[in-house]
Amino acid sequence: MEVIKVKDYNELSEIAANIMIDAVTKKPNITLGLATGGTPVGLYENLVKDYQNNGTSYKEVTTFNLDEYIGLEKTHDQSYSFFMHDNLFDHIDITEENVHVPCGTSADHIQEAKNYEQLIDENPIDFQLIGIGVNGHIGFNEPGTHINSVTSVVQLTDSTIEANARYFEGNEQLVPTKAISMGIGTIRNAKQILLIITGLSKAKIVKQLIEDPASEDVPASLLKDHPNFTIIIDEEAASLLDK
């Protein structure tokens, strides 16, 4: 596990984008695992800027998103499919057929999750980007999730619903209670994993993640023994660390 400490959100977004651009340049047909939430927005802005200025191409890139809320149509402005198109896919030359986000409105969610896992099995992820929830969740793998879990239908905890209400007019009632999420085992199968963490609200979980032994109580800590795992944290997120 490598920890890179940076000054602030802008620096984090630039460094993380450069790592991703480098990976895409080295392997133009790379399979990327992508994340949503507020944290990667700046990173995606930098990818778009780089595409416009330097022409890094995504034509041969395949992507798999970590998760999707159950019950939200792709056109819903808080669906992760909408988020990805709005923040990244609509602004680069990626091929729509190569883009994968679990479907939150299929007739059979359990089957949808199985199919998604199968598709990832057939297209192993080279580079997985992730963020972290205030309770340590990755994707929507909440505390207590097994290290070998695969893509499945998951229940959001009250703390995650409360944290994500800010994206739903501040109204917890509007936040879906279930999602389809890659499992921790799915994420661990990626060849390289990059976790980006920003802001004071994450300082407590960062301390647990970095200073305590790996445990199911902090899902992100189950990545600590991955052979190619990097964490980028800004000063605010690192503010409670002993050193």
Cβ of 26: how many Cβ atoms within 10 Å?
9
Q: Which listed residue (6, 16, 31, 67) binds ligand GLP by CB under 6 A?
A: 67
What's the min distance (Å) between Cβ of 38 and ligand GLP?
3
Under the criterion CB under 6 A, does residue 35 sit at the interface with ligand GLP? yes
Under the criterion CB under 6 A, does residue 37 sit at the interface with ligand GLP? yes
Smaller CB distance to ligand GLP: residue 39 or 98? 39
Q: Which amino acid is at 233?
A: I
Under the criterion CB under 6 A, does residue 210 sit at the interface with ligand GLP? no
Under the criterion CB under 6 A, does residue 234 sit at the interface with ligand GLP? no
Q: Which listed residue (42, 133, 136, 176) binds ligand GLP by CB under 6 A?
A: 133
Please name the residues in contact with 132: beta carbons below 8 A apart, sequence gap of 6 or more. Answer: 138, 195, 197, 202, 205, 209, 220
Query: Which residue shows structure tokens 């991955």?
Result: 226
Q: Which candidate, 151, 139, 74, 130, places its Cα nearest to that of 106?
A: 74
What's the min distance (Å) between Cβ of 93 and ligand GLP?
25
**222's tokens:** 């189950």
Cβ of 56: how many Cβ atoms within 10 Å?
18
Catalog residues that contact ligand GLP under the rule CB under 6 A: 35-39, 66-67, 131-133, 139-140, 160, 164
